[in-house]
Structure 1
């Protein structure tokens, strides 16, 4: 069943929504740190977000824009603000739908099912929204992009695949054979020198965003990444 992230600072309403969704089999979790919504989103990887507009620290429009820089996960606003302008702002900032309070739970469930069906079901293009995080380094899977301390750069497909393979196996040696398989295709000839050149490029990419000496060469074995930067 789908996982839903609830961003609502009214504790009573938060609990009511949570209980209702779980009754229908959805997995839910609620934001605890309203100053760090993006990090919790990356950590939990929800498949849908329900979000209020009026939130502590930054409003829902801000967090909607922020999440849209890294993901196309569906976002439905639930808000007491019922003006046309608020609804227009929500859509322009990347929301998929808008429900005004007070609301019917039947309508809420219908909206959720409709959005999930469109994004992940029979009407979807199955877009990959995955974000992988390791000690503050964000890897945006469907964009071949990495970000560290607000510095964001795009990698080539091969560079990204090499880095992703190393990070998924952090503090373990990834064999040269495994990494060569990543570089191989029917067109390019791949040898040890090709792997060394590409790994040098990955190191330089990391250095450009402030991460140094993270990738170790294990002679005769492969490479290992240390994520304690």
Structure 2
């Protein structure tokens, strides 16, 4: 599967040139289109790496980098016309992994991208945390926020991913609605009981698309639990 790169650059000409150049190296490249909903676009794209400008409409790149870090550890490379040392320090302190100033050499940029990809996902990647959660052939990619069964793969939203991961890590255990609501809540968005029900319903539908039926069960008056209803199980 191709690695995905998300470009957050408000200069349409530069964004187009970056996209065209990077795609030559067999990456799937997506460019930001709604600079007021960057985090939502990021969640929908689930990129393996981000190229992020600092000077952007509404909020700057430092803000969006902090937002990305609440849901992902994917590499983030800042690209900016600002060459001051303090800007580079702020980029790192706000969650960035590298910094390159404009105008830049495309060969240098690609070397940085390939290096980041190797260290994060390839032969130089550390194995501190497993990337794949696998139960009887049903897998969740913990970095890409995608699930797979029998070579069919579907993307998950952040909330669907959090729910599925928690349920799979506690198979056959009842998880209370209060626990799952707390899991979904973040500093910016209050989550109510209806939000939990909606996301459980969406997750069930996506599981059905993979051929998994009745895996997430409602425990009346308590919450939800996951049962293995797929694959060759013991």
TM-score range, shorter chain: 0.5 to 0.7
2:143 is aligned with 1:129:
yes
Match of 1:3 in 2: 4
Cα offset for 1:146? 2.5
User: What secondary structure does 1:43 align onto?
Assistant: helix
Cα offset for 1:24? 1.8
1:129–1:141 contact (8 Å) kept in structure 2 = no
**Higher alpha-carbon Rg:** 1
Q: TM-score, normalised by structure 1?
A: 0.66
> CA-to-partner distance for each residue in 1:19-62, whole Å, 9 max, x for gaps?
11112221111100001011111111111110100001110000
2:175 is aligned with 1:151:
no
Q: TM-score, normalised by structure 2?
A: 0.65
Cα offset for 1:108? 0.1
* Matches of 1:100 and 1:199, distance apart in 2: 56
User: What secondary structure does 2:161 align onto?
Assistant: strand
* Matches of 2:71 and 2:4, distance apart in 1: 18
> CA-to-partner distance for each residue in 1:167-207, whole Å, 9 max, x for gaps?
52479x9755x45xxxxxxxxxxxxxxx654883249xxxx
Show the 5 A alignment for 1:2-81.
Answer: 2-81=3-82
Of the candidates 140, 144, 161, which is equivalent to residue 139 of structure 1? 161
* Matches of 1:163 and 1:30, distance apart in 2: 30
Cα offset for 1:133? 2.2
1:7–1:31 contact (8 Å) kept in structure 2 = yes
* Matches of 1:85 and 1:2, distance apart in 2: 31
User: What secondary structure does 2:63 align onto?
Assistant: helix
Cα offset for 1:140? 3.0
Structure 1 residues without counterparts, runs of 5 or longer: 154-161, 180-194, 204-221, 223-229
User: What secondary structure does 1:76 align onto?
Assistant: strand
Cα offset for 1:76? 0.5
Range with bigger deviation, 141-150 or 51-60 = 141-150
Structure 2 residues without counterparts, runs of 5 or longer: 132-141, 146-155, 167-182, 193-199, 230-234
User: What secondary structure does 2:57 align onto?
Assistant: coil
Match of 1:97 in 2: 98
**Aligned residue pair count:** 178
* Matches of 1:46 and 1:62, distance apart in 2: 18
* Matches of 1:117 and 1:72, distance apart in 2: 15
